[in-house]
Chain A
Amino acid sequence: MSTTGFSVQFANIEKRFGMRLALRGVSISISPGEFVALVGANGSGKTTLLRIAALLMRPSGGSIKIGGEDSETLPAIRARCGMVSHATLLYDELTAQENLQFFAKLYDLPHAYEICAAALERVGLSTRARDLVRTFSRGMRQRLSLARAMMTGPRLLLLDEPATGLDPEGQAWLGSEAARLHLEGCTILMSTHGRNEVQSAVTRAVRLDAGLVAEDSHEGGAIRDILSRSGPEE
C-alpha cells in the first residue's frame, strides 16, 4: 500500500511553559515522505515539538501547517496522523482486539474488525488478540501501539522515543516497520535521545538544543554524525 505523506512546516514555533521557554522559534520544513530524526538532550524540546505536530499542544507563537493546511482543518488532518510514544496509548483493561476496534471505530474506519485483524497479523500479535494488554510485555505493547497507529493509514507518523524500554530485537523490528512505512510514502518524525536500531532508515537528522535548531542535515555522513552524538545506545 503506498500513500502520499503529509508535508509539515513549523514556522518560528515558540512554546512557553510559565516563565520557561521550551521552544524558541523553531522553523523546520519537512517534505512529504521524509523520515526525520529529532535528536537532542533531555529538555531540548523534542517532545514538545512532536506534541505540537500531533496537534495536542497549541504553540505560544508561530504556526504549523500539516499537509499544507492550517490547523483549522483539524479532524481531517488528525484522521491521518498516527503517534507511537514511550507511553503505549492503549488501555490495559482491554484486549488487543478491543483496543484496536475501539480506535478503529473512533476513526470511523469501515470494516473495523477486518482492519484490526490485519493490523494484528502485521505486528505478529494475532494469537494474543483476545488477551488483556496488561498481560503483554513491553515489546508486545509497543507492537500493538504501532498497529494502532498504522491501521488508520497514516500520512504522518510521529514517533516519540519509541525505542525506550525495547530490547535490541524489538528495536530492530520497530526500525524495519518504520522503514517499511517510510518506503510506502509516509512522512515520519521521530524523536530520540540515544542511538538505536530504529534510526537505520532515517533520511534527515535535526538536532535541537535548548529549544533551538542547532543542526539540520540531509546528508548521510552528517546524519550519522548527528545521531552518533545524540547519546549512548538505548
Chain B
Amino acid sequence: MSLARATGLILAKELRVELRSRELLSTTLVFVLLVLVLFSFTFDPTAAEARRFGPGLLWLALLFAGSLMLQPSFVREQTNDTLSALRMAPIEPFAVLLGKLVANACYLFFVELILLPIFAALYNLAILPVLGRLLLVLLLGTIGLATTGTVFSAITAQARLRELLLPLLLFPIVAPLLIASSEATVGLLSTQPYLDRVWLVFLLVFDVVFLTAAWLFGEYIFEE
C-alpha cells in the first residue's frame, strides 16, 4: 500500500475519533483562550506594546496548547494497545506518524483559525490587511510544532513521567521555531507590515529538516 493511502486512512480515523470524542479540540481551545484573555488583562498593553508583545504571547499560548494537545496523540493508542495493531499492519511505520502529524496540524490550525479574530479583538490589532501572509506564517509554524510534538509524543508515550517529559523535550527543540514565528508575526503586525523572508525561509527549513528526520527515523520510534 502506498504511503499516501495509508496516511490518508490513519488521518481519516484520527479525525473521526476526534470528532466523536472532541477531547483534544475542546480542551485545547478553552485552554488557549484562557491564556490569551489572562495575558491581555494582566499586561493591559498599549497599541505599540500589543504589536510588539502580542505575537510572542500568541505563539507562547499556541506552544502550551500544542503540548497539551499533542500529549494524548499516542497515549490514546495505548488504552487498548491499538498501536500494536497499527504496527502489525502491512504499512510503512512512517504512515502512522504522518497520519497523526497531519491530524495534529489540522487540529492546531483549526484552533488558530478560531483564535485569530479573538486575539485581534483582545489586543486591538488589525490582522485583515495581512491575513494571507499571517496564515502562511501560522501554517509553517504549526507544521513545525506538530512535527516535533508528534514525534516526541510517540517517543514519550511509554515513559512513566510522559506528561513532564514531553514539554522538557519539546520546548528546547521548538524554541528556534517559536522565535522565528514570533518575529515573522511581529513584522506582519507592525505599523508598516512586512514579511521578513529570513524568518520565512527559517520556518520552511525547520519544517523540512524535522519532517525528513521523522521520515528517516520513524521506523525506530515505535520499536520496543
Contact = CB atoms under 8 A, between A and B. Distances in A.
Interface in A90-105: 90-94, 98, 102-103, 105
A102 B81 contact: no
A54 B84 contact: yes
Given A57-B224, A106-B9, A78 B89 contact: yes
B80 interface: yes
Contact of B16 (A54, A94, A148): A94
B9 A105 contact: yes
Contacts of B223: 57-58
A88 B89 contact: no
B17 interface: yes
A214 interface: no
A75 B219 CA distance: 13
B90 A93 contact: no
A51 B16 CA distance: 29
A54 B82 CA distance: 14
Contact of A56 (B16, B17, B87): B87
Range of interface residues on chain B?
A: 20 to 34
Given A76-B90, A106-B6, A83 B84 contact: yes
B80 A90 contact: yes
Contacts, number: 73
Interface in A123-159: 132, 148
Nearest to A81: B88
Nearest to A87: B81
Contact of A85 (B81, B89, B90): B81
B25 interface: no
Contacts of B79: 92
Contacts of A92: 79-80
Contacts of B81: 85, 87-89
Given A51-B224, A56-B224, A58-B223, A90 B90 contact: no
Given A56-B224, A91-B13, A107 B84 contact: no
Interface string B9-37: 10001001100110000000000000000
Nearest to B21: A93
Given A57-B224, A105-B9, A108-B1, A148 B85 contact: yes
A55 interface: yes
B17 A91 contact: yes
A28 interface: no
Nearest to B8: A105
Nearest to A80: B90
B90 A107 contact: yes
A105 B9 CA distance: 8
B90 A78 contact: yes
B122 interface: no
Contacts of B20: 93-94, 132
Given A94-B16, A102-B13, A106-B1, A54 B88 contact: yes
11 contacts: A55-B88, A58-B223, A81-B88, A87-B80, A88-B80, A89-B81, A89-B85, A91-B13, A91-B80, A106-B6, A106-B91
Interface of B: 1, 6, 9, 13, 16-17, 20-21, 79-82, 84-91, 223-224
Interface of A: 51, 54-58, 74-76, 78-79, 81, 83, 85, 87-94, 98, 102-103, 105-108, 132, 148
Given A51-B84, A85-B81, 7 more contacts: A56-B87, A76-B90, A87-B80, A91-B17, A103-B89, A107-B89, A132-B20
What 8 pairs between A and B have smallest CB-CB spacing? A87-B81, A75-B90, A89-B85, A79-B90, A106-B89, A57-B224, A93-B20, A93-B17
